[in-house]
Structure 1
Amino acid sequence: MDADQTPAVPKNAAPRKPVGELLAEAGLRPTRQRLALGELLFGQGGDRHVTAERLYEEALAADLSVSLATVYNTLHQFTQAGLLREIAVDGTRVYFDTNTDDHHHFLLEDDGDLYDIAGANVSVSDLPQPPEGLRVARVDVVVRLRRA
């Protein structure tokens, strides 16, 4: 499956809350554009990894009237509100992950597909001591893969 596509929802997956409720709980006003983009991101259930460009293409295909700048702004607002997790895989590619739990990723370099790795399956040790007054917020591990 392409990382930007909506994955099949497992039969035992808990249903997601309605998008308006997710936005309200995150302290975001449910504007028309936030609701529409939120429905594309969260409406199908399951976890997704999307780029802003891919979400913009989905919005256009759904006849939503939004600009690419609005998509970027909304994704960043959702991230700041804790609804998404931003994953920077290199200097040019940023994914937005609907799974905000602690976990890591495989990146298939050939296609740009991103896949979850359970957080418990990766161990990171001997982190350097952060400078005084700072703390480690999280560690993101991206394991890069290529087809053999």
Structure 2
Amino acid sequence: MKPVTQDRPYSQTLSRLREAGLRPTRQRLALGRLLFDGGDRHVTAEALHEEAQAAGVSVSLATVYNTLHQFTEAHLLREVVVDSARTYFDTNVSDHHHFFLENAGSLMDIDGGKIAITGLPQAPEGTDVARVDVIVRLHGTPRPAE
């Protein structure tokens, strides 16, 4: 017999928030469900806000931004800054890099083992390299895999 919590629509999101040490507010549950129930994805705050509105979730854009940053600080999301005007939030927090399709304004994952980074400068004394993000910018439209 399954535990009762598995039958509730927000149970996976609820568990994820609690494991990350975040209080499961109504907004966090609703946004978390939109983010995490569909597999790995890349979203902007504006796109998530539109998705929330379409799903009947009453939430301000400021709350969406705040929630995305809280999820990032709790390691539930990874922030990907494409340029000064565009930031995406990635539900895949594993070690990987990205293709950025400039024509479409979208990100695609690159497996972390596909890019070798060598020759990094030594970090200043008292600091360590936390991670290295690679964004490969593409023009054109990718062909579907055969």
Partner of 2:80: 87
Question: After the TM superposition, which segments of 4 or more aligned residues of structure 1 sit over 4 Å from their partners?
Answer: none
User: Is 2:31 the counterpart of 1:37?
Assistant: yes
Partner SS, residue 18 of structure 1: helix
Partner SS, residue 28 of structure 1: coil
The structure showing larger relative contact order (alpha-carbon pairs under 8 Å, at least 6 residues apart) is 1
- Structure 2 CA distance, aligned partners of 1:67 and 1:112? 23
TM-score of the superposed pair, with normalisation by structure 2: 0.88
Alignment of 1:105-124 (within 5 A): 105-124=98-117
- Structure 2 CA distance, aligned partners of 1:100 and 1:112? 20
How far residue 51 of structure 1 moved from its aligned partner, in angstroms, is 0.2
- Structure 1 CA distance, aligned partners of 2:24 and 2:84? 32
Residues 29-48 of structure 1 show CA distances to partners (whole Å, capped at 9, x for unaligned) of 0000000000000012x200
- Structure 2 CA distance, aligned partners of 1:70 and 1:123? 38
> Rg bigger for which structure?
2
User: Is 2:50 the counterpart of 1:57?
Assistant: yes
**Matched residue type, 1:34:** R
Residues 124-143 of structure 1 show CA distances to partners (whole Å, capped at 9, x for unaligned) of 10001111000000000000
The percentage of aligned residue pairs carrying the same residue is: 66
Which ranges of structure 1 fall in alignment gaps of 5 or more residues? 1-16
- Structure 2 CA distance, aligned partners of 1:131 and 1:60? 45
Number of residue pairs matched?
131
TM-score of the superposed pair, with normalisation by structure 1: 0.87
Which ranges of structure 2 fall in alignment gaps of 5 or more residues? 1-10, 142-146
Alignment of 1:64-83 (within 5 A): 64-83=57-76
